[in-house]
Amino acid sequence: MKAVSRVEGPVSTLLRDDIDTDVIIPKQFLKLVQRTGFGPYAFYDWREDPAWDLPSRPILVTGANFGCGSSREHAVWALADYGFAAIVAPSFGDIFRTNCMKNGLLPVRVPQEIRDQIAEAGEAAVDLRAGTVAWAGSSYPLDYPDEARRRLVHGLDDVAVTLESEDAIAAYEGRRDTTMPRTKAGRA
C-alpha cells in the first residue's frame, strides 16, 4: 500500500445519511475481476439525476452511516479512483471503514456539527502524523488506533506485517483447540 500521511484541499459535499455500498458501486460492477478503474461507476445510478453534482476533489464530506451494507471493497476503490483521498462523516459502516484504511482512503469520523463546519469551510486538511483534521482555524482529533495510523503513514503491507509474527501464529496453532472442525477430511 502506498504511504499516506496528509490529505488537504477542497471538499465535495453529499449530505445524505445511510449511503450504502450498493449505491456507491452497484452490483453489476462487482463482476469485474480487478481493483482499478471503478471511478466512472461510482454512484452510477444517482448520476442519472440532472441535479447530480459531485466534483472530484480530495475530500468527500457526507452523512452518517456512510458505507453501510455490503462488504464490497469495490466501494472504496471506486471512491478513491473518483479522486477522493479522505471522507469526513459523522459515522461509517464498520467494514467499509476498515476497507478504507486498507486502501489508504482516510475515513474521518467527526460529530455532525463539526462535519457541518467542515462542509461550510469548503476545505480541510487531514494530518495523520498530527492526528487531526483541521479547517478554518479549528481542528478535531482523529480516532485512529496507533497501529492503523502507523501502517498508513509508512505504507506497510498488512500481510507482511502479520507474517513477522510467524512464531506467535505457529505457537498459537500448537495450543489451539483441535476439536474445531476442518473443511477437509471427507467433508468437502
Partner 1 sequence: MGQTLVEKIWAAHEVEPGLLYVDLHLLHDLGGPLAFEGLKAAGRPVRRPDLTLATADHNVPTDGVTRSAQIDDELSRVQVGLLEAGCAEFGIPLHSMGAPQQGIVHVIGPELGLTQPGMTIVCGDSHTSTHGAFGALAFGIGVSEVEHVLATQCVVQERPRTMRIRYVGDLPFGTTAKDLALHTIGRIGTSGAAGHVVEYAGPAIEALTMEGRMTLCNMTIEAGGRAGLIAPDAMTLDWIDRHGGTVDDARGRLATDGDAEFDREVEIDAREVTPQVTWGTTPEMVAGVLDRVPEPRTEAERRALDYMGLEPGTRLVDVAIDRVFIGSCTNGRLSDLRHAAELIAGRAVAPNVRAMVVPGSMRVRRAAEAEGLDAIFTEAGFEWRGAGCSMCLGMNADTLDPGERCASTSNRNFEGRQGRGGRTHLVSPEMAAAAAVTGHFVDVRDWRRS
* Binding flag, residue 169, partner 1 (CB under 8 A): yes
Nearer residue to partner 1 within complex by CB, 2 or 188: 188
- Measured in Å, how far apart are the chain's first and last C-alpha atoms? 35
Is residue 155 a contact point for partner 1 (CB under 8 A)?
A: no
Segment interacting with partner 1 (CB under 8 A) among 4-12, 110-118, 121-129, 158-166: 158-166
The three three-digit cell numbers of residue 117, written as one number: 463546519
Q: Is 136 near partner 1 (CB under 8 A)?
A: no
Task: Rule CB under 8 A: say whether 67 interacts with partner 1.
Answer: no
Is the Cα torsion angle 19, 13, 41, 109 positive or negative in sign?
negative
Q: Which is nearer to partner 1, 137 or 180 (CB)?
A: 180
Contact pick of 3, 56, 150, 168 for partner 1 (by CB under 8 A): 168
Q: Report the candidate in 98, 107, 102, 103 with the shortest Cα–Cα distance to residue 128.
A: 107
**Measuring CA to CA, which residue among 73, 74, 70, 114 is closest to residue 91?**
114
91 binding partner 1? (CB under 8 A): yes
| Count of residues engaged in binding partner 1, rule: CB under 8 A | 56
Q: Which helix (H) or strand (E) holds 116?
A: helix 112-121
Of 87, 46, 47, 45, nearest in space to 65 by CA = 87
By CB under 8 A, is residue 36 in contact with partner 1? Answer: no
Q: How far apart are CA 99 and CA 28, in angstroms?
A: 20
Shortest spacing between CB 177 and partner 1, in angstroms:
7
Nearer to partner 1, 129 or 179 (CB): 179
Residue in the block written with cell 477437509: 184
Does 129 contact partner 1 by CB under 8 A? no
Residue 59 phi, psi (nearest 5) = -125, 130
Residue type for position 44 = Y
Which chain residues interact with partner 1 by CB under 8 A? Answer: 16-18, 20, 22-23, 26-28, 30-35, 45, 64-65, 68-73, 76, 91, 93-95, 98-99, 102-103, 145, 147-148, 158-159, 162-163, 165, 168-169, 172-173, 176-177, 179-185, 187-188
